[in-house]
Chains A and B, each alone.
Chain A
Amino acid sequence: MDYLKYIRNFSIIAHIDHGKSTLADRLIENTGLVSHRDMKEQLLDNMDLERERGITIKLQTIRLVYQAKDGKEYIFNLIDTPGHVDFNYEVSRSLAACEGAVLVVDASQGVEAQTLANVYLALDENLEILPVLNKIDLPSSRPEEICEEIEEMIGIDTEGAPLVSAKVGTGIDDLLEKIIEAFPAPQGDPDEKLKALIFDSIYDNYKGVVIYTRVFNGKVKKGDIIKLMNKGQTYEVTEVGVCVPSTIPVSELKAGEVGYICGSIKKVADARVGDTITLAKNPTEKPLKGYKKAQSMVFCGIYPAEGEKYENVRDALEKLQVNDAAFNFETETSTALGFGFRCGFLGLLHMEIIVERLEREFNLGVITTSPSVIYKVILNDGQEVMIQNPTNLPNALEIQHIEEPLVKADIMIPKDYVGSIMELCQDRRGTLKHMEYITETRVQLHYEMPLNEVIYDFFDALKSKTRGYGSLDYEFVRYEKSNVIKMDVLLNKELVDAFSMIVHESKAYQRGKFVCEKLKEVIPMHQFEVPIQAAIGQKIIARETVRAYRKDVIAKCYGGDISRKKKLLEKQKEGKKKMRQCGKVEVPQEAFTAVLKFDDDK
């Protein structure tokens, strides 16, 4: 198995903004196959949105050819990982396809909560970790200190860790050599039964689903009948190939190699990340371990904005779903917003990304309702129902109790902010489990917190209270009994279902007041007074009033300048278009999101 010696499969793991994508670009540039001219800024992040936010959402893999100093040619398979807490499972599967991970740490900022989370994922997969200090060109960089921090916090040797600046390109050659040294070559037997891991899949208009895979044993070629072991479906392979990064067909993929497989698969959900591919005729006995079904943690309603067609939104959601196994939706109806969709996401970021993609890639205007988690409602007769839309909460009399999901939240912050963050967590009903000094100046707080509080605006608050230095990682732990209640919002005495939310009893007054105040700011004056009320059942807990206007008339229309007057009216009409009719009240679309925004003065 000589060819295996010259393959290295690895990922780059890093905290957001620590320069992962830029570094990947440099590796690509400094090896073969991609010419300088074709270098787009940050090649691996292929969606506009990702480029803008600086985070990778959709994984990509790329095959590089490196002419090493020993005169040999090496194949590097660089497998990109998504950089956010919502995509932990996807990250873990990408890592499972590798033998090593390059750990990028910002040489001035040091180790962040997410770096740690990713390192743990990599250690779980028994990967070799090669620490790399990035951004050493910055005057604020302090590589020695950060190396100490890495040794102290992660317990890996930083002796000889490459110092690079991906931005200016220093240290890249050294890094490429170190990759060969530090990471083991893959193992496997091409003559064994086929066993390959799906670590990503995307939908292509021409090829159908393109599965990105790492072959552990055996080989696969065009014409083979493959079986995806989770559901047992079989497909005929229409193409196998490698990514450079454009797809290039090859005759076969064999043990140790990374590439793609196409087989006329209709949706990515059928080729779920983590699933094992084998041959239908001669299948392997045991699938690879670690497969998990996608589970939505956060839900919200997505509705077509005024003037937007329901069908267009549905088509767009379907297209997104084809490409995103973790995203799901079903139809729902709201009296305030009409026909729309209840959508499930991995987390809040995932939700924001989907909404932004609808707006940007599909050019659609949509309204999103308050995100919600799944509540477990235990009825008096002992029956359990899972509720993710506040509107569907059964009558209070039928409910014995409600349970809400708790998460384990790991928060890493500079020590100066401990006080204010503990206050924040307490305010969000968090229970401090444990606190540790990672270094002299950095603290990790371990909290248990209701997910409901995390999805609301916790992340924004954390960032704003720590001037961006705080980082968060969370995962579901369990359901726990809780005093949560449904809070409704009434406009002009009429309930607007899209504003209903489930809140903890202790928070209801505060939240009710906040929502009423926010709505007062954004709801325009009407011909009549508009009372805005927050209510629990029949009880009004907060109220604001939008006073009635008496005048909306321009008396002057000077010298026959009709066009100017017309422009004013057109502007007014445009404004009206963006309004939602809730009973007799016109509600601007931003009202639906305004009630979610974190307010610093709060």
Chain B
Amino acid sequence: MKKLGIYIHIPFCIKKCNYCAFLSFPIDENLKREYLKALKKEIMLNENKEYIVDTVFLGGGTPSLLEPKEIDDIIMNLNSYFNISKDAEITMEANPGTLKFENLLGFKEAGINRLSLGVQSLDEDVLSHMGRIHNAEDVYWEYELARKAGFNNINLDLMFSVPNYNIFKIKRTLTRAIKLKPEHISYYGLQLEEGTPYFEQFKKGMFHETDDYMDRRMYHEGSRLLINKGYNRYEISNFSKHGYECKHNLKYWNMDEYLGLGLGSSSFIGGYRLKNAEDINSYINFDKKPIIEKHHNSKNDNVSEAIFTGLRKTEGIEISSVLGSESAFWEYFNNIKDVIWEYEMDGCLIIDQGRIRFTEYGIDISNKILANFV
């Protein structure tokens, strides 16, 4: 049977962080009730038993703000309308500062078996500058609670290139995070997005963007630290202990099918890329599926997406997998062959044993290279 991943968006937070451009709102009991009702309806409308669902990802926002009962409801619902595999990876994003032991137990009980903690930093100055609601102490404490509650697959999200960071501080954060021995670490660079408090502050000149040199140093030195401590970088920003790669995220890079449910979520299913409504009121009041974008992928779409998503993985792409054979691939990209070859000469790409992958340097300028394939 075909496999499917399901993403569910929970757009509530206690407070928006300074860097955040995602769809989220301060939590409000009424709005939450309405939202969960709509979500239930959306699950129902998408009933599909042709697939085996092997990953579920509850992202946000802050899904851990929901009561264990509410999480349980969602998963029960999924079980009624989909074939959820017994050993499915079911991840929930959680923010330190919101986790209580009994809730964690409840989430575990409901079926959550992977926890992704939005730690971002373990440096007090940096955390408060980012507008996070927690401090480093909360992270250590709640991480231990999660372990006690029985979570044996935990990810920590960490961010670099945040204002006020320097290379020493980021390494200290990483070292502290590694000491906790999480199974997985996501290590992202800050992006200044329009509409965020950071963006406004930046425009007013209240801080400088981390320069490219420092950004890359934080990334590469941080990566090396993680790799030396036994974390495998399987994707540009994702590191894990062996066997703990995030199966759900891998679907995004492998052109596998996934269904997005909830506000503003994206799907790739049946050859279509879909996007849900981003306006909370229209989402809550939908009759039919709240889809605002529907695009049928052409062959060209599939080819270029397979490449630019696949190349984000450390192992890169298997050339023959894209168009059936290596020769078909090179024929298809005949017009940019020279460009690709030149990138290889410049040490950006490695083309070897039927695969293409980025070098460390290639990662730094990956967009420029990937743009050739779209």
Residues of A within 8 A of B (CB): 527, 549-563, 565-566, 568-570, 572-573, 576
Q: Which of B188, B252, B365, B371 contacts A549 (CB 8 A)?
A: B365
Query: Once the chains are docked, how many angstroms separate the CA of A442 from the CA of B59?
Result: 73
Bound-state Cα–Cα, A135 to B370, Å: 59
Asked if B196 CB lies within 8 Å of chain A CBs, one says no
Residues of A within 8 A of B367 (CB): 552-554, 568-569, 572
Question: Which residue of chain B is the closest to A548 with respect to CB atoms?
Answer: B212
CA distance in complex: A556, B364 (Å): 14
Q: How many A-B residue pairs have CB under 8 A?
A: 92
Task: Select A569's contact among B252, B273, B371, beta carbons within 8 Å.
Answer: B371
- B260 near A560 (CB under 8 angstroms)? yes
- Given A551-B364, A559-B260, A560-B7, A570 and B216 contact (CB-CB distance below 8 Å): no
Q: Please name all residues of chain A whose beta carbon is closer than 8 Å to the beta carbon of B373 when the two chains form the complex.
A: 569
Contact between A554 and B216, CB atoms less than 8 A apart: no
A570–B293 CA distance with the chains assembled, in angstroms: 18
Chain A CB count within 10 A is highest, among B188, B251, B371, for B371
Q: In the complex, what residues of B have CB within 8 A of residue A527's CB?
A: 346, 365
B258 at the interface (CB under 8 A from A): yes
Question: A551's contact among B215, B258, B312, by CB below 8 Å, is which?
Answer: B215
CA of A189 to CA of B329, assembled, Å: 80
In the complex, A145→B236 CA distance in Å?
Answer: 76
Identify the stretch in B76-84, B143-151, B199-207, B301-309 within 8 Å (CB) of chain A at 4 or more residues.
B301-309
Determine chain B's interface SS by DSSP, over half rule: mixed
* Distance in Å: Cβ of A156 to nearest Cβ of chain B: 61
Given A550-B364, A576-B371, A559-B189 contact (CB < 8 Å): no
Contacts A560-B260, A576-B371; is A553 near B366 (CB within 8 Å)? yes
**A576 to B301 alpha-carbon distance, docked (Å):** 19
The 7 A-B residue pairs whose C-beta atoms are closest, nearest first, are A572-B371, A550-B212, A551-B212, A573-B371, A561-B266, A569-B374, A560-B252
A552 CA to B371 CA in the complex, in Å? 11
CB-defined interface of B355-374 with A at 8 Å, one 1/0 digit per residue? 00000000111111011111
A446 CA / B301 CA spacing, docked (Å): 64
Q: Please, how many angstroms separate the alpha-carbon atoms of A576 and B371 in the complex?
A: 9
The chain B residue with its CB closest to the CB of A565 is: B308
Q: Are A550 and B371 in contact (CB under 8 A)?
A: no
B168 at the interface (CB under 8 A from A): no
Complex Cα gap A563–B297 (Å): 10
CB of B265 closer than 8 Å to a CB of A: yes
Q: Does B275 contact A (CB under 8 A)?
A: yes
Residues of A within 8 A of B265 (CB): 559-560
Size bracket of the B interface: 35 or more
Contact B252 A562 (CB under 8 A): yes
Instruction: Report B188 CB to chain A, min CB distance, Å.
Output: 5
> In the complex the two chains form, what is the Cα distance from A565 to B301 in whole Å?
12
CA distance A502 to B7 in the complex (A): 64
Query: Does A569 contact B308, Cβ atoms closer than 8 Å?
Result: yes
Interface residues of B in 190-235 (CB under 8 A from A): 191, 212-213, 215-216
A560 to B7, CA, bound (A): 9
| Distance, CA A372 to CA B357, complexed state (A) | 49
* With known contacts A561-B266, A576-B371, A552–B305 Cβ distance under 8 A: no
Is B35 engaged at the interface, CB distance under 8 Å to the other chain? no
Contact A557–B252 (Cβ < 8 Å): yes
* Contact in complex: B273, A550 (CB < 8 Å): no
- Answer yes or no: B22 CB below 8 A from chain A CBs: yes
**Cross-chain pairs A/B with CB under 8 angstroms, 5 sampled:** A551-B365, A552-B367, A559-B266, A563-B266, A569-B371
Q: Is B295 an interface residue (CB 8 A)?
A: yes
**Cβ–Cβ < 8 Å partners of B113 in chain A:** none
Binary interface encoding of chain B residues 268-306 relative to chain A, with 1 for a CB under 8 A from any of its CBs, else 0? 100001010000000000000000010100000100110
Report Cα–Cα, A561/B215, bound state, in Å.
24
Measured between alpha carbons, how far is A576 from B370 in the docked complex, in Å? Answer: 12
Nearest-CB distance from A556 to chain B (Å)? Answer: 6
In the complex, besides A557-B312, A562-B309, 7 extra interface pairs with C-beta distance below 8 angstroms are A549-B212, A552-B366, A553-B364, A559-B264, A562-B305, A566-B301, A566-B305
Chain B residues with Cβ under 8 A from A572's Cβ?
Answer: 367-368, 371
Q: Is the CB of A551 within 8 A of B266?
A: no
Shortest Cβ gap from B74 to chain A (Å)? 16
**Residues B188 and A555 in contact, CB atoms below 8 Å apart:** yes
The answer on a CB contact under 8 Å between B22 and A555 is: no
Selected from A550, A560, A561, A568, the residue in CB contact (under 8 A) with B213 is A550
* Residue in A closest to B210 when the chains form the complex, CB atoms: A551
B237: Cβ under 8 A from any A Cβ: yes
Distance in Å: Cβ of B95 to nearest Cβ of chain A:
16
Inter-chain CA distance A568–B304, complex, in Å, is 13
Contact call B308/A556, Cβ cutoff below 8 A: no
Given the known inter-chain contacts A560-B268, A563-B293, please indicate yes or no for A552 contacting B368, CB distance below 8 A.
yes
**Does chain A have a CB within 8 A of B9?**
yes
Partner of B372, one of A554, A556, A557, A573: A573
**B302-355 contacts to A (CB < 8 Å):** 304-305, 308-309, 312, 346
B268 touches A562 (CB 8 A): yes
Cβ A555 vs Cβ B374 within 8 A: no
Are B22 and A558 in touch, CB under 8 angstroms? yes
Inter-chain CA distance A518–B93, complex, in Å, is 49
Complex CA gap A563/B312 in Å reads 15
Q: Is the CB of A551 within 8 A of B188?
A: no
Given A552-B366, A553-B363, answer yes or no on A561-B191 (Cβ-Cβ < 8 Å): no
Q: A556-B188, A573-B372 are in contact. Are A566 and B251 (CB under 8 A)?
A: no
In the assembled complex, the CB of A65 is this many whole angstroms from the nearest CB of chain B, namely 61
Residues A556 and B252 in contact in the complex (CB < 8 Å), given A527-B365, A566-B305, A570-B374: no
Chain B positions within 8 Å of A566 at CB level: 301, 304-305, 308, 374
Chain B positions 6-41 with a Cβ under 8 Å from a chain A Cβ: 7, 9, 22
- Is A573 a contact partner of B346 (Cβ separation < 8 A)? no
Contact B191 A556 (CB under 8 A): yes
Nearest CB to that of A527 among chain B residues?
A: B365
B48-90: which residues lie under 8 A (CB-CB) from chain A?
A: 59
If A551-B365, A566-B305, A566-B374 touch, whether A559 touches B59 (CB-CB below 8 Å) is yes
**Nearest-neighbor residue (CB-CB) of A557 within chain B:** B252
A230 to chain B, nearest CB (A): 50
Q: Which residues of A contact B308 (CB under 8 A)?
A: 565-566, 569
Interface-centre pick from B213, B237, B366, B368 (highest chain A CB count, 10 A): B368
User: In the complex, what residues of A have CB within 8 A of residue B7's CB?
Assistant: 559-560
- Chain B residue with minimal CB distance to A554? B367
| Residue among A559, A568, A573 having the largest count of chain B Cβ atoms under 10 Å | A559
Kindly state the separation between the CA atoms of A566 and B252 in the bound complex, as whole angstroms: 13
- Residues of chain A within 8 A of B368, CB atoms compared: 552, 572
Measured between alpha carbons, how far is A256 from B237 in the docked complex, in Å?
85
A569 and B370 in contact, given A555-B237, A561-B266 (Cβ under 8 angstroms): yes
A561 touches B251 (CB 8 A): no
- Taking CB atoms, residues of chain A closer than 8 Å to B264 are 559
When A561-B266, A562-B252 are in contact, do A555 and B236 touch as well, CB less than 8 Å?
A: yes
| Minimum Cβ distance to chain A for residue B116 (Å) | 12
B57 CB, min distance to chain A CBs, angstroms: 8
Chain A residues whose C-beta falls within 8 Å of the C-beta of B363 in the assembled complex = 553
Q: A550-B213, A555-B189, A573-B371 are in contact. Are A561 and B364 (CB under 8 A)?
A: no
A549-B212, A569-B371 known; A555 and B273 CB under 8 Å?
A: no
B239 to chain A, nearest CB (A): 13
Q: Chain A residues with Cβ under 8 A from B273's Cβ?
A: 562-563
Task: Name the B residues within 8 Å of A550 (CB-CB).
Answer: 212-213, 215-216, 364
Cα distance A565–B370 when bound, in Å?
11
In the assembled complex, the Cα of A565 lies from the Cα of B372 at a distance in Å of 14
